[in-house]
A and B are shown apart, each in its own frame.
Chain A
């Protein structure tokens, strides 16, 4: 049991798990603390998207490309099966997390949308994304059950899918094998600071954990963790619903979504935005998304949103019209005003590192984030420039884009 870790990671979701994994493998003594269970926040409420396809050229896309490579490596990492599964040979982290390198297919419902999509894809290709235009007559080969109304699309072989709660849980298991300690059901109530305002540890509802570094991986609740160190990190919730069908035989081969989805992600509107996102799962149910709205932490079920999601999914895949919906769930994406996460040390609070604000991309971006945080913690040169992700960029009058000092 680590009593004086090198770093406390606040949050046992996918990003916290990745930070713990890479930090532990870099030789640091890690303690992960979460007020709830593993994947109890947004990680447990998503679809497990590992996408490069929905990102325009820029720092987020660069992080997604780095993270996609790390996902491929992680997926192949050997792991022991759970003891409850009975004795058996080693498996891989990817098998345990239901990682599928299935690829993404973005489809357009008219020529105008298709043109815009192809222009977007060409820009992504210039930034290193593999994007293959798909003509109308080629769509059926990729997705036999896709509506013939779609006029064309773009295939993104680098997109993948994972079961996010399993991925977080098994990554934390691997982190524990490298010495990390995971403390669940313990709430961080404050970040303690000493001389020079430098972090000295955290206060929880069970006592104190002394540590020279703290990572804020609290996702949608990251603003409160930052506030407990008297700094502002304006993470806001952006609610999304997922509709889950009864288990089905294999029907949908890729992650398939309408070209409108990218505009929804990038939008600043607080109003409801929905566009069709559909994928199958290893377990059989088809997951149907995606909605975005800024309604605070309102957890009530919105039948109006589910109705829209269902209608949009059936428009893409008419076979879904007869399929029972088993349940729906909702989560709150952590949204920062410029649609980029906060990653790295907070210049205002030495020893406090942030790793949150990934909006709907946290699962995909987690390994890259975790690696960058581990590098920042050990003082190594980071694989990416962290300037665009500076946690203090929202202070009034300052912005990384205005050429602030590194």
Chain B
């Protein structure tokens, strides 16, 4: 049993986005951060000082920790953006 069936959801078919060259499935309605978590990717940035892993933290667009590059546009908050099929996502330096 997965999360969708547990809540009785019936989402439309998933599509994929390219995250650093890897296809990641996205269910319509998911934010990019949610899709990354579902794919087991919980960290996609590192801290400047000691290189510690960072990903989504607040999940509501306030902390700016979850930044990614989407279709060439930098500084996008993964917890807010809803990807579309074929989007190209690159993680930051």
A interface list, Cβ under 8 A from B: 85, 246-249, 282-284, 323-324, 326
Is B48 in the interface zone, CB < 8 Å from A? Answer: yes
B48 near A282 with CB under 8 A, answer yes
In the complex, the chain B residue whose C-beta lies closest to that of A327 is B62
Partner pick for B75 among A85, A282, A283, A323, CB 8 A cutoff: A323
Q: Which of B44-79 contact A (CB under 8 A)?
A: 48-50, 64, 67, 75
Binding site secondary structure of chain B = loop
In the complex, the chain A residue whose C-beta lies closest to that of B65 is A247
Is B93 in the interface zone, CB < 8 Å from A? Answer: yes
Q: How many residues of B contact A (CB 8 A)?
A: 8
In the complex, the chain B residue whose C-beta lies closest to that of A86 is B50
Q: 7 more A-B contacts (CB under 8 A) besides A85-B50, A246-B64, A246-B75?
A: A247-B64, A248-B75, A282-B48, A283-B48, A323-B75, A324-B75, A326-B64
B93 near A249 with CB under 8 A, answer yes
A283 to B64, CA, bound (A): 12
Q: Contacts of B48 on A, CB cut-off 8 Å?
A: 282-284
Q: Contacts of B93 on A, CB cut-off 8 Å?
A: 249
A62 to B41, CA, bound (A): 55
Annotate B3-36 by CB proximity to A: 1 below 8 A, 0 otherwise. 0000000000000000000000000000000000
A326 to B64, CA, bound (A): 8
A283 to B50, CA, bound (A): 12
Q: Contacts of A326 on B, CB cut-off 8 Å?
A: 64
Q: How far is the CB of B56 from chain A (nearest CB, A)?
A: 15
Q: Contacts of B49 on A, CB cut-off 8 Å?
A: 282
